[in-house]
Amino acid sequence: MEVNDALVQQLAELARLEFNQEEKSEIKGDLQRMITFVEKLNELDTTEVAPLLHLTEDYNVFREDAVVPSISREEGLLNAPSRNDQYFKVPKIIKK
């Protein structure tokens, strides 16, 4: 596949980007190198290669989701500069 000015312009429009002529020529060269690399990879025989689902052998090494004690509402509101008995009070920022 050959990268031409029309393809670069189409990609720029789709991405809503604007490039000057120098940037377009640089992008054109970069895209051509990427496509050449992918085409080179397509030459490899991968029929016996299993798909890679995870980068490591580790799988789901997350901790158990357990409920643990937390601070109470009252403790959470102790250091608030402005509050009522249930909530933080903050300045109004939306005006009608």
Task: Indicate the pLDDT class of residue 17, thresholds 50, 70 and 90.
Answer: very high
Q: Quick: pLDDT tens for 38-77.
A: 999 889 898 898 888 777 777 777 888 888 889 988 898 9
Q: Where are the beta strands (DSSP E) in the chain?
A: none
Q: Round the average pLDDT of the chain to a whole number and report it.
A: 88
Domain chopping of the chain, boundaries: 5-41
28, 3 in Cβ contact below 8 A? yes
CA distance 57 to 85: 50
Closest CA to 31 of 52, 10, 51, 53: 10
pTM over cut 0.85 = no
State CA 26 to chain mean position distance. 25
Question: What is the predicted pLDDT for the residue at 52?
Answer: 82
Q: Structurally, what CATH architecture does the domain formed by 5-41 represent?
A: Orthogonal Bundle (1.10)
